Amino acid sequence: MLLSAAVSVTLTATACVSSGSADDPATARATHTVSPTPTAEPALTKKAALAQIAHYSKINNEANADNNRQLLDTIEDGPLYAMSVADYKQDEGLPKGDREKYKPWSYYLAATDVYIPRFTAGQPKWFAAVTYSGKDNKYARVLIMTEQDKLKRWEMVAAVDLDDKKQIPEIALDADGYATAVDATSTKAVAAPVDVLRTAVLDNFATGGTMSGKKVYATTKTSTRQIKVHDETIHKFGSRGTTEFTSAATEFPDSYALKTTDGDALVVFAHTHTQRDAVAHSGLQIVPEKDDRAWLKDKPSPYFAYTFNCSDVATVPATPGKSKLIGYTCRRTAAEGLSTSSAA
């Protein structure tokens, strides 16, 4: 059932104390001092960024070998960690004979482009990367890594496979090869801020895009794929049951955006949605499938409710126009039925 982001001027009034007689009145002058412009520095070097990706791959393999959540927590955060832990849970719910043997992997650094923005002191630091794999680098994936400031370590928060690598925009780089971060929450930076993008994605699932999905997004393989999930899933029970998708409070509201050479933005964000399957009338029950065991055991129920956490990648224009979804990934991160709910 698994649907599978100025210069400030300070006016300082200085009181001049008179050193003369009372006949020599003191004068007061207003002096203008300009505070220094905060210096934006790269989050890290390209070499260091690639080293962080390599470190991630190494520790990820170690954690995945035995579903080590504590170890995984040292290299992942945000929606990606939630998805990975969900994979662990689902795997552990299968009979041992049905569990696939884990195969170690790593990102091919020679085919990885890193995009490192500059940040001022106190700003959260992150960088993006696009990795390629397969024959002729056929497959592309967008990565986002953030620095956990207190712990002084880098963790992966998003890893999204793209539906078509040809849709990856060219990222704008400065003379030193560094990228520019964009505030995806501001209409001054993008025509469709991230809340609008997220709402439209949720509409793709909830209505097939009829409310805002198709108004915000142009037709792409990704948007079509989301709408297909809606169109096919709501009819999976025929006349015997119903399926309804709804939006949920976003568990991971952070967004990450880079300026492209045409002035637009590449935006990575997350969303959360729910799915509720229910029988059409009394006397019927839904039987959990094999992959549902970890969540729902094997007990039938007249309804099942699922929560999905997802990451999405879109190209967004700076001026009015439609955005383009170019990749998304989802995992079921919670589920319950009549037999598993304490508030049935």
Task: Determine the pLDDT at residue 152.
Answer: 84
Q: What's residue 16's pLDDT?
A: 32
**How high is the pLDDT of residue 338?**
85
Q: What's the confidence (pLDDT) of residue 34?
A: 58
In angstroms and rounded to an integer, the radius of gyration of the C-alpha atoms of the chain is 25
Task: Give me the pLDDT at residue 149, please.
Answer: 80
pLDDT tens, N- to C-terminus, the chain (344 residues): 333 333 232 222 323 333 333 334 444 444 555 556 679 999 999 999 999 999 999 999 999 999 999 999 999 999 999 999 999 999 999 999 999 999 999 999 999 999 999 999 999 999 999 999 998 899 999 999 999 988 889 999 999 999 999 999 999 999 999 999 999 999 999 999 999 999 999 999 999 999 999 999 999 999 999 999 999 999 999 999 999 999 999 999 999 999 999 999 999 999 999 999 999 999 999 999 988 989 999 899 999 999 999 999 999 999 999 999 999 999 999 999 986 654 43
- The pLDDT value recorded for residue 164 is 94
Which residue type, as a one-letter code, is found at position 210?
T
What pTM, to 2 d.p., does this model score? 0.87
What pLDDT does 321 receive? 97
User: Around 58, how many Cα atoms within 13 Å sit in the side-chain half-sphere?
Assistant: 7
* Burial of 175 per CB tally in 10 Å (0-12, 13-18, 19+): exposed
pLDDT score recorded for residue 18:
31
